[in-house]
Amino acid sequence: MKLITDLYLGDCRNELKKVPDNSIDLIVTSPPYADQRKSTYGGVSVSEYVQWFLPISKELFRVLKPTGTFILNIKEKVVDGERSTYVMELILGMRKQGWFWTEEFIWHKKNCYPGKWSNRFRDAWERLLQFNKDKKFNMYQDAVKVPIGDWAKNRLKNLSETDKKRDNAKNGSGFGKNISNWVGKDTVYPTNVVYLSTECNNKNHSAAFPRELPEWFIRLFTQENDTVLDPFMGSGTTIEVANRMKRNSVGIEIVPEYYETVRQQFSLTEYYLMDSAIEDGELESTGCYRVC
């Protein structure tokens, strides 16, 4: 099957309107955080952030399939010595739009430099918020299993009677485990903490994703020939990874230089570049390219 990559130049508030209803399996994106990186690609103030984002999340809700997932990478900064609450307000606003806030993954940045602040420690993690349209969604958990680890060799060698049945925690937490379930297993399901290094220096963008980040979510929530969207494409990491993983993709970017870099990257592959407007039989100045 032919893979399709649609690249749009423009503001995603407008460009998303061109994406059909219920056509996307996974959205992975990192919008500009409030008031950050103003010098490179604008920046929305903390007080206006929710108001700015909600029309975008409304469009994302429309284009996402009922079985699809939206992963939003975001992290509130410190304003006047206090963490800003705009991300929490955004979550509440999106729930009112109909989104389920299914999960919060933590991206632990493994390669964070140490630092010294008078009233806090260095930020070494970011939020990866998972939203869904429905409580039932596609999830391919086996695709992200991890090695069980060396601990299992000794621990599982001699099982006690307690290990062979479900053992509920004595502290009343409601957690329980049956250790014997792990015997003979080489892999287990991961936690909701994703350990990845940042990867900024090898790309022409100041906030590029490490490739493993979209890759992990693409494996977890999609299959080959599904469609992945990044409405804040930047250097195109999500799109590039989706393409490599044989997923269709849609990318939107407002800064022409970033957009052009991604477009050229695709035109250099074995795919050929085709203006989607030509395919439609009429020339539009949408800036929308289709790489087939």
Among 5, 6, 24, 30, binds ligand SAM (CB under 6 A): 30
Among 252, 263, 288, 291, binds ligand SAM (CB under 6 A): 252
Single out the segment in contact with ligand SAM by CB under 6 A; choices: 189-197, 241-249, 253-261, 267-275. Answer: 253-261
Q: Is 253 in the site for ligand SAM (CB under 6 A)?
A: yes
C-beta of 32 vs 68, nearer to ligand SAM: 32
In the complex, minimum distance from the CB of residue 10 to ligand SAM, in angstroms, rounded to a whole number: 7
Q: Is 130 in the site for ligand SAM (CB under 6 A)?
A: no
Among 57, 84, 130, 237, binds ligand SAM (CB under 6 A): 237
Q: Is 235 in the site for ligand SAM (CB under 6 A)?
A: yes
C-beta of 227 vs 235, nearer to ligand SAM: 235
In the complex, minimum distance from the CB of residue 237 to ligand SAM, in angstroms, rounded to a whole number: 3
Q: Is 263 in the site for ligand SAM (CB under 6 A)?
A: no
Q: Is 209 in the site for ligand SAM (CB under 6 A)?
A: yes
| x/- track of binding to ligand SAM for residues 43-82 (CB under 6 A) | ----------------------------------------
End-to-end CA distance of the chain: 11
Which residues contact ligand SAM (rule: CB under 6 A)? 11-13, 30-32, 41-42, 205, 207-209, 232, 234-235, 237, 252-255, 258
